[in-house]
Amino acid sequence: MREKYIEAGKIVGTHGVKGEMRVEVYTDSPEFLKKCKELYKEDKFGNKLPLGLISSRVHSGKNQLLILVKGITDPSLADTMRGTLLYFDRDSVRLPKNTYFISDILNCEVYDGESGTYYGKVEEVFETGANNVYRIVKDGKEYLFPAVESMIKSTDIDSKKIEVTPIKGIFDDEFIEDK
């Protein structure tokens, strides 16, 4: 089941004298998070509560977002929010085709798109810049799989299933060179 709220970042400090807060962004970019009309924090019972977002802007030169929220009017009040994890509602954003939230990829089962061979579960996703890399684990063995379009046949987030077309050597126990 897909989580309604996705971790977006963490308040790491204050900015200026009007109560703006600096958010370390966990999404691809602060520009992505800036599109959200509301951000949420978690109460002690795990409920997501709206912050009352007034404004957000990209902190130039940093991978941070600056936010201003209702009730926070000076740096002292803003500093009490330091360390707060922030979330966004997945329904408030649109992703491009064949793009997924990392939290949705985690724990997907990976199969060969041709033979049906089970390769394991995605335990971690590394963001490398050029493309993401899935760390797939099966029976204590780890495989690093480059998540490139040409090697991913299909991704079904609802079924938690990814079908791949791997190049030789990624899942093979032995890489045999052609002679």
Residue 97 in domain: no
> Residue 1 — pLDDT band, cuts 50, 70, 90?
low
Cα 147 from Cα 102, distance rounded (Å) = 12
Residue 178 in domain: no
pLDDT at residue 176 tops 70: no
pLDDT at residue 80 tops 80: yes
Helix H, strand E, coil C: the string for 45-102 is CCCEEECCEEEEEEECCCCEEEEEECCCCCHHHHHCCCCCEEEEEHHHCCCCCCCCCH
Residue with the bigger pLDDT between 127 and 65: it is: 65
Residue 125 in domain: yes
**Number of domains forming the structure of the chain:** 2
As a whole number, mean pLDDT of residues 142-147 equals 94
pLDDT at residue 174 tops 80: no
Residue 75 structural domain: 5-91
Residue with the bigger pLDDT between 98 and 164: it is: 164
pLDDT at residue 179 tops 50: no
Whether residues 48 and 114 fall in one domain = no
CATH of the domain at 14: 2.40.30.60
Tokens in use for 32?
Answer: 């992505």
Q: Is 39 helix (H, G, I), strand (E, B) or coil?
A: coil
The neighbour count for residue 62, using CB atoms within 10 Å, is 12
> Residue 169 — pLDDT band, cuts 50, 70, 90?
confident
pLDDT at residue 173 tops 80: no
Whether residues 120 and 50 fall in one domain = no
CATH of the domain at 134: 2.30.30.240
Residue 19 in domain: yes
Q: What is the pLDDT of residue 39?
A: 97
As a whole number, mean pLDDT of residues 108-135 equals 93
Cα 41 from Cα 93, distance rounded (Å) = 18
